[in-house]
């Protein structure tokens, strides 16, 4: 369900999550499980889980940035070993397959760190016979969400929904082929960037992710207990 109504703004990720949760009322979800893409997707997912009275956990995916332009996604990796490359971007930027593999390898260390910190030895929830809501704070190119959806698709979910407050229309339309449904509050033609639609789009810290997971009932991991400097690693997303 992609809304192209008059664009709204979100105060912050929690406000965005509340508005997004209201859009999920129609979905008639069966035994929903909410998985959030850290870090920015976790405050959004927390509000959805609260509204749905559903369990919340993280599912970790990482954007692979272009050489010298880390913010420009040319691919993504996700838990389970899934790798997605944007072949058109690689051609346009002249990035070889070997160079892309090097960049993806560099992101795997951060992906593993986040899994250890946020989930530790805790396994992902059993998704069989559950409707799974994958939440993020927005959809620009959609490459990170694509990697996550591809990984989740083989895990037995009854239905797989991608839920984001704001989305680039072309990215939302493309990912309807991977998710059973894409749900967003707005998909404005003049999208430009996710942060444009938020009053407060400050980076979400590791500490905030851990606090929200604990509030949702997840035990604190051993890595989190050992961590003395949460939120110090890399850009959000």
CATH number at residue 129: 3.40.50.2020
Is the pLDDT higher at 38 or at 236?
38
Which residues are 216's β-sheet partners? Answer: none
Contacts for 2 with CB less than 8 Å, ≥ 6 apart: 167, 169, 172, 173, 182, 184, 187
In three state form, how does the secondary structure of 59-109 look? CCEEEEEECCEEEEEEEEEECCCEEEECHHHHHHHCCCHHHHHHHHHHHHH
130 or 227, which is more confident? Answer: 130
Q: Which residues pair with 157 in a beta bridge?
A: 128
Asked whether 175 and 142 are in contact (CB, 8 A), the reply is: yes
CB 2 within 8 A of CB 169: yes
Query: What is residue 134's DSSP assignment?
Result: E
Distance CA 141, CA 87 (A): 13
**Is residue 7 classed exposed, middle or buried when 0-12, 13-18 and 19+ CB atoms within 10 A define those classes?**
middle
Phi, psi of 174 (to 5 degrees): -65, -40
3-state secondary structure of 154: coil
For residue 145, what are the domain limits?
Answer: 13-218
* 200 in any annotated domain: yes
- pLDDT of 97 reads 95
pLDDT digits (tens, 9 = 90+) for 54-63: 999 999 999 9
Q: How many domains does the chain have?
A: 1
Residues 6+ apart with CB under 8 A from 112: none
The answer on pLDDT for 7 being more than 80 is no
How confident is the model at residue 4, as a pLDDT?
46
In a domain? residue 177: yes
The answer to whether residue 228 sits within a structural domain is: no
pLDDT for position 25: 80
Q: Considering the domain boundaries, does residue 237 fall inside one?
A: no
Is the residue at 60 inside a domain? Answer: yes
- The verdict on residue 91 lying in a domain is yes
Residue 232 lies in a domain: no
- Note the pLDDT tens digit of each residue in 67-125: 989 888 999 999 999 999 999 999 999 999 999 999 999 999 999 999 999 999 899 99
Q: From CA 103, how far away is CA 106, in angstroms rounded?
A: 5
Work out the burial of residue 230: count CB atoms within 10 Å of its CB; fewer than 13 is exposed, 13-18 middle, 19 or more buried: middle
pTM of the model: 0.91
Say yes or no to pLDDT of 46 above 80: yes
| Residues recorded for the chain | 237
């Amino acid at each position: 369900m992609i809304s192209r109504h008059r664009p709204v703004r979100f105060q912050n990720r929690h406000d965005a999550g509340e508005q997004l949760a209201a859009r999920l009322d129609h979905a008639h979800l069966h035994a929903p499980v909410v998985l959030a893409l850290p870090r920015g997707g976790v405050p959004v997912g927390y509000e959805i889980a609260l509204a749905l009275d559903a369990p919340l956990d993280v599912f970790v995916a990482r954007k692979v940035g272009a050489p010298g332009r880390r913010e420009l996604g040319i691919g993504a990796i996700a838990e389970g070993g899934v790798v997605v490359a944007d072949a058109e971007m690689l051609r346009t930027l002249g990035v070889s397959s070997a160079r892309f593999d090097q960049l993806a390898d560099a992101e795997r260390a951060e992906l593993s760190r986040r899994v250890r910190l946020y989930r530790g030895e805790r396994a992902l929830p059993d998704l069989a016979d559950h409707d799974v809501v994958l939440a993020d704070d927005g959809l620009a190119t959609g490459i990170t969400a694509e990697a996550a959806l591809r990984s989740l698709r083989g895990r037995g979910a009854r239905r797989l929904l991608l839920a984001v407050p704001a989305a680039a229309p072309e990215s939302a339309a493309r990912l309807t082929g991977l998710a059973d449904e894409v749900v967003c509050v707005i998909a404005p033609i003049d999208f430009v960037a996710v942060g444009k639609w938020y009053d407060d789009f400050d980076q979400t810290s590791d500490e905030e992710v851990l606090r929200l997971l604990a509030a949702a009932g997840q035990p604190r991991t051993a890595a989190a207990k050992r961590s003395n400097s949460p939120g110090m690693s890399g850009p959000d997303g």
